[in-house]
Structure 1
Amino acid sequence: MVLDLRDICKSYMQGKEPVPVLHHIQLQVEEGEYLAIMGPSGSGKSTLMNIIGLLDKQTSGDYFFDGQDMAQCSDNQLSTIRNQKIGFVFQNFNLLPRQSVLENVALPLLYAGVRKKERLERAKEMLARVGLEERIQFKPTQLSGGQKQRVAIARAMVSQPRLLLADEPTGALDTRSGEQVMELFAQLHSEGVTIVMITHEPEIARHAQRIVTIRDGMLEQGGFGERRTEQEGDAS
């Protein structure tokens, strides 16, 4: 099991009063699963994503990542897990504008201490996988929105993480570019990548195997997405 969240609660202090945001979240994600967490603005989905991505800590409850209790990890250990075991894809890409596409993708390997020749080779391989091998020396400002997101996905996957965590990955894209990104996610999932995707769009969530909904900080078990239906059809 990649993710195991047990009774997760999160509150923020507003003055002297705690304001609860997440209420007793129970969530398990198996290796190779493709999960969509769907919810409207203000539902708590971004807070949940930050906890899953080790960018924030829960107020109470237990979080096990890849079988390891995150409460027992030092800040340095958490940083290493974030860098090497979790790949992040954000709505607004978060690319460095002055760095080339190749340098952006290689960045997590630089932080991990990988030697220059190897990290550039691995970055080139990932860019080829997302269909951007002809754009490696471009700057992000020279790319379309869909191309920027494919660069972001290549960067997220270059460390071969245990989990791909995507926050509204099509939110800044037109419909066609969004579909291309979803096709790329489907390809990665078919290769065994574990994906957790945060979205407020039902048509995007349906690309996943399983859908859960968060409302007012509480998680509701949902239904199955199109990929579950397709796989059941293939098996029959």
Structure 2
Amino acid sequence: MILNLQHIYKDYNQDKLVVPVLKDVSLQVEEGEYVAIMGPSGSGKTTLMNIIGCLDRPTSGTYELAGKDVLNLKDREMSAARLNSIGFVFQSFQLMPRESALDNVSLPLSYAGVKKKERKERAQKALERVGLGDRSGFRPTQLSGGQKQRVAIARAMVNNPKILLADEPTGALDQKSGKQIMELFQSLNDEGVTIVMITHDINIAKQAKRILHIVDGEIFTDDEEGKA
């Protein structure tokens, strides 16, 4: 079991009011799975992704990542778990515009204290893995949207994380580029990479092996007849 969230609640305080966002969410993901989470705006899917990604803590509940109780970790320990266990892919790419593709990909390795020579070697291999080995010196402004997302995926994978979290990974791409990114995700999953993806597009969600729906802070299976 790579992800095990049980009875997750998340509330926000707003003008002395308690606003519930996640309500008794339980979610289990096996190693090597490919899961899509669909939900309308305001459904809680981004909050759930932030908790899975160790970017936020729930109000209550339990969360184990690869068997480790991450909610009892101190902030520094949680940051380390996030760095070493989770790769992030965002709709907006979040690349550093003035840095090369190679430097963008090597950034997580820098945070992890990897020496410069090894950083460059591993970043180059990650770029080759996503088909951009010949674009390592290019800056984001010299790359297409699809290529930028490939760089972002290489950056997410360079630390060999246990899980890849993707938030609307094709949202900023044209149809052709989006298809290529989904083919790359499928290839990574075939290699054993665990993927959890948020999307509003049912055609994108269908690429995953399991589809979940989040509605008003609650998770349902694809047929919406029971909790996941």
Report the TM-score, using the length of structure 1 for normalisation: 0.93
**How many equivalent residue pairs?**
223
Q: Which residue of 2 aligns with 1:24?
A: 24
Distance 1:175 1:186 in 2: 16
The amino acid across from 2:206 in the alignment is R
Distance 1:160 1:69 in 2: 20
Distance 2:60 2:15 in 1: 20
Distance 2:71 2:153 in 1: 28
Shift of 1:166: 0.3
Report the 3-state secondary structure (helix = DSSP H, G, I; strand = E; otherwise coil) of the residue aligned with 1:147.
Answer: helix
Shift of 1:3: 0.4
Query: What are the within-5 Å matches in structure 2 for residues 77-226 of structure 1?
Result: 77-222=77-222
Report the 3-state secondary structure (helix = DSSP H, G, I; strand = E; otherwise coil) of the residue aligned with 1:23.
Answer: strand
Report the 3-state secondary structure (helix = DSSP H, G, I; strand = E; otherwise coil) of the residue aligned with 2:13.
Answer: strand
The amino acid across from 1:27 in the alignment is L
Q: Deviation string for 1:152-187 (max 9, x for gaps)?
A: 000000000000000000000000000000000000
Q: Which residue of 2 aligns with 1:234?
A: none
Distance 2:110 2:75 in 1: 19
Distance 2:85 2:60 in 1: 23
Distance 1:71 1:204 in 2: 31
Q: Deviation string for 1:105-148 (max 9, x for gaps)?
A: 00000000001111100000010111111110110111110000
Q: Which residue of 2 aligns with 1:43?
A: 43
Q: Which residue of 2 aligns with 1:68?
A: 68
Matched, 1:4 2:11: no
Distance 2:30 2:195 in 1: 10
| 4+ long deviations beyond 3 Å | none
Distance 2:149 2:197 in 1: 14
Distance 1:39 1:175 in 2: 21
The amino acid across from 2:18 in the alignment is P
- RMSD of the TM alignment (CA)? 0.7
Distance 1:138 1:70 in 2: 37
Q: Deviation string for 1:78-118 (max 9, x for gaps)?
A: 10111111000000000001111000000000000001111
Shift of 1:222: 1.4
Distance 2:109 2:21 in 1: 34
Greater CA deviation, 68-77 or 96-105?
68-77
Gaps of 5+ in 1: 224-236
The amino acid across from 1:165 in the alignment is L
Percent sequence identity over aligned pairs: 63
Q: Deviation string for 1:184-232 (max 9, x for gaps)?
A: 0000000000000001110000000100000111100116xxxxxxxxx
The amino acid across from 2:80 in the alignment is T
Distance 2:117 2:194 in 1: 28
Shift of 1:70: 1.3
The amino acid across from 2:215 in the alignment is R
Shift of 1:24: 0.3
